[in-house]
Amino acid sequence: MVSERGLDVLRVIVTDYVQTREPVGSKSIVDRHSFGVSAATIRNDMAHLEEEELIVAPHTSSGRIPTDKGYRVFVDKLADHRPLRAAQKVAIKRFLSESADLDDALVRTARLLSQLTNQVAVVQYPSLAKNCVRHIELVELSPLRIVSVLITDNGVVEQRNIDIAPYTDAVGLHGTGLWLPELRDQLLAAVRDLDMAAAAHKTREIRDTIARRVQSRENLSGIEAQQLTVLDVIIEQITINRSDRMVLAGTANLVRTEIDFNKSLPPLLDAIEEQVILLKLFAELRLDQTGMAISIGRENEAFGLEETSVLSTDYESSAHSVSRLAVLGPTRMDYSANIAAVRAVARYLSRLFSEE
């Protein structure tokens, strides 16, 4: 059992080590902090912390540095939950409010978070699976090319160009002009304000109706073949799950902290590049009672990130969609400031989407 003073000693060891990257000794603690006890007493407290595996000596006759377990106790019990400064809050609100669309908002969020924390920032795209279709538009770009635009209730815009094959009948060469308005009206009537699963189902019903008309025939007519091509693309647009996409910023920050990684920086860079590992890690993280999910050092060993800390929370892109926002960096980071930044940015991002 660590005493209250022992926990205070742990707090200053973590804080000083994060600031200086130098092991912290008892004399330094006495000189820099007002404990009102001798260096010998602080050494006894540090010995107890070392027995509890909360601090460790990196080499002989040195000061002490926190262990992963020490960082965990600091985050759970000792970190100051200080809010951002008023100027920072104003800057966040102004910067995010200038976003042109969802993609721009997420890019801005990642850049902003990496600048506030000096870590790698990761923002997960909202999942279309939980949203509704607000609008589908089919626009003829040329006789043989259509653009299909899907807009969801949280502002996601999916756009696809569709090339269709020409067909010839007794009248001549045909493109889309004969059937496009009718198909567009059918889709609008079928999917507006439906959740993604229902919208995909309704679109498939339209496709199946067309397909049934030609089941008894050996070949599709030219018009029917073109319609089915378009409908296949629209179904793919509706069913795609964009929560598998991420926006990242601040990877260059890892270069500045490379000394904090022993041999695990290459796996972290691989995880950032591949993103699949990060998605799996996010799926494992669970929010605590404060709304944060924090995973430190060896707690990430299963993902090859045993020298990495992840600070994460959720943001709401609509009433139906919750996605993840996080920063990644070395275990030696300013947890108090970074937790405050992650919370604040997530809150403003959620507010931005709720106002749309």
CB-based contact 126:197 (threshold 8 Å)? no
| Separation of alpha carbons 98 and 262, rounded Å | 40
Domain spans of the chain?
Answer: 4-78, 86-127+243-354, 131-240
The tally of CA atoms less than 13 A away on the side-chain side of residue 20 is 16
Protein fold of 131-240: Enolase-like; domain 1 (3.30.390)
Fold entry, domain 86-127+243-354: Beta-Lactamase (3.30.450)
Q: What is the CATH number of domain 4-78?
A: 1.10.10.10
Pairwise CA distance, residues 102 & 247, whole Å:
11
pLDDT in tens, the chain (356 residues): 889 999 999 999 999 999 999 999 999 999 999 888 999 999 999 999 999 999 999 876 679 999 999 999 999 998 887 788 888 888 898 999 898 888 899 999 999 999 999 999 999 988 766 678 888 899 999 888 999 998 887 677 888 999 988 877 655 566 677 788 888 888 888 888 887 778 878 888 888 887 887 665 555 667 888 888 899 988 888 877 555 789 999 999 988 888 888 877 888 888 888 888 888 898 899 999 889 999 999 999 999 899 999 999 999 876 556 789 999 999 999 999 999 999 999 999 998 888 76
**Please, what sign has the CA dihedral across residues 305, 310, 313, 318?**
negative
The half-sphere exposure of 244 on its side-chain side, counting CA atoms within 13 A, is 6
What is the pTM for the complete model shown?
Answer: 0.73
**Residues 33/16, Cβ–Cβ less than 8 Å:** no
Query: Given this model, what pLDDT does residue 64 score?
Result: 94
pLDDT at 356: 62
What is 187-240 written as a DSSP string?
HHHHHTTEEHHHHHHHHHHHHHHHHHHTTTSSS--HHHHHHHHHHHHHHHHHH-
Q: If you search the block for the tokens 């229902």, which residue do you land on?
A: 198
Q: Give the pair of three-digit tokens for residue 329.
A: 């960096």
Q: Measuring CA to CA, how many Å separate 210 from each of 8, 182, 203, 215?
A: 73, 13, 11, 9
> 128: Cβ–Cβ under 8 A, 6 or more apart, which residues?
152, 156, 158, 196, 238, 240, 241, 242, 243
Side chain identity, residue 184: R
Q: What local confidence, expressed as pLDDT, does residue 171 receive?
A: 55
Specify the pLDDT at position 258.
84
